[in-house]
Chain A
């Protein structure tokens, strides 16, 4: 009977067993034990903080009582809440300082992916079935997203495919066992502040996503570190470093930049429906 309509990935212990068996290495859990620098940063009132917080963010004036439900950033530079939107889109991920450092296996996999996407034997499920794009592909998507800061957590809510990344602050990564068996499109993330930079460490990715729209590959051994900071009151930067020895000869990085859009409200997103006009985002080609 069809009572349980959606069969989610955790449903099958057999699948989990295969997932464990297929992993050849222990993923080193990215630690999330960064110190809280809030107190020190709160004392910083120099030009950097002014520059970083000078914009008209929608949550520049948090209210609430200490210990209450509303998070009050200790510095405008650490208030990254709001709706952000990239100004440009590139189907191919841009590697800082060069090209993808693919190893032999990575080169072969990339070639296979490109060929199969072209001849249709491989579907880009993120676009056709609207499953999550995964990290880092979601970082470059041409739809707006919202960052929500609450006590002890930063949550990324993307309009595209209504992807949600809830990221605990100053908490340890989930257990090594969970990283082995509960493989997520968006991985498992933890974060901490280093100065005015939010550092997000992620592991436990599934292998169902590409790194970009061209089919750049990764394995489930991939780990990522994102360094997110405000460049000024209305601009946010996310520099992500990707480590995946199964596909690449060395770690590499890519950079994404977003503008604050307090006038934008995220919209519902259901696959196959008409969605927001993204034609103004540079690089977007809307298929005819």
Chain B
């Protein structure tokens, strides 16, 4: 299957979605209910899981020789680097980050820079509940950690020139009464793909499928990343959440963003990590 055919399979999987699009004349569509807060579950709360039974390529996973154990002193985020999805140039950028982690020098997540976590990185942000605000033409995903927000426009095509932005351009539609399908292009190359700091290019396309359980207690997001600039093939992964009452706190990164000790950032070990500032105000 070609790369584009794979993606089309993700986007149009199941019923043909134009038939499900909201229209005044068409049949009423059952819209899945994603309301409330969603809290990550799983063994490792900041990284992606392989999809059980998925025959294709999967995400980078923790190197078994250097485990990451929550609530322990083993907090290394080192990936197994033999995953065939990595292009040589991507591996070349990732290897020093992994080696620093193994030496005990952690790398900085995007939100540690007070920068957007991007897509699919927003699914990995720790420290608050993710929320999906559903309105007829849009789904807005918000996260309290640094007030992150991304927008998904429903039942519309991508624009001709989406440019390259932190969260890209997302369009979506509902499927099968329990799923929101989101197709994102137009991402910049400034965010990390995963918790290991894997870089990606601005060619990246991400198709996410948000599926809520019938009892509304769990949410699973399966997604496929296709980025011929960084990966040899499309790969798929998942994250899981459990339902919690919405509790959106105000967490402002830039007000007091500081680091103690040595970190690996920008390709080198450093004790200085920047926070975005405006030398010249916008107005």
Interface set of A (CB-CB < 8 Å, partner B): 1-3, 5-10, 58-59, 61-65, 68-71, 81, 89, 124-125, 127-132, 142, 146, 148-151, 153, 155, 157, 161-164, 166, 182, 184-186, 208, 265-268, 270-273, 275, 278, 284-287
Contact = CB atoms under 8 A, between A and B. Distances in A.
Interface residues of B, number: 68
Contacts of A151: 35
Given A63-B29, A162-B149, 11 more contacts: A1-B106, A3-B75, A7-B257, A69-B34, A127-B283, A132-B252, A162-B147, A164-B147, A265-B153, A275-B282, A286-B283
Contacts, number: 177
A163 B135 contact: no
A164 B260 contact: no
The interface residues of chain B, by DSSP majority, are classed as loop
B66 to A, nearest CB: 16
A164 B278 contact: no
Contact of B273 (A5, A129, A285): A5
B83 interface: no
Interface in B247-268: 248-263
A69 B31 contact: yes
B18 interface: no
A162 B276 CA distance: 14
A157 B282 contact: no
Contacts of A164: 142, 144, 147, 149, 248
B242 interface: no
A127 B278 contact: yes
Contacts of B34: 69
B218 interface: no
Interface in B127-159: 127, 133-138, 140, 142, 144-149, 151, 153
Contacts of A63: 22, 28-29, 31, 136
Interface stretch (B107-115, B200-208, B219-227): B107-115
14 contacts: A1-B106, A5-B112, A7-B258, A8-B252, A58-B138, A63-B22, A69-B33, A70-B136, A128-B278, A129-B277, A130-B277, A270-B115, A271-B277, A272-B277
B109 A5 contact: yes
Contacts of A266: 151
B264 to A, nearest CB: 10
A284 B281 CA distance: 12
A124 B254 CA distance: 13
B250 A185 contact: yes
Contacts of B149: 157, 162, 164
A115 B113 CA distance: 32
B258 A150 contact: no
Contacts of A65: 28, 30-31
B255 A9 contact: yes
A2 B165 contact: no
Interface centre among B24, B104, B109, B283 (most CB of A within 10 A): B283
A56 to B, nearest CB: 12
B283 A5 contact: no
A199 B281 CA distance: 32
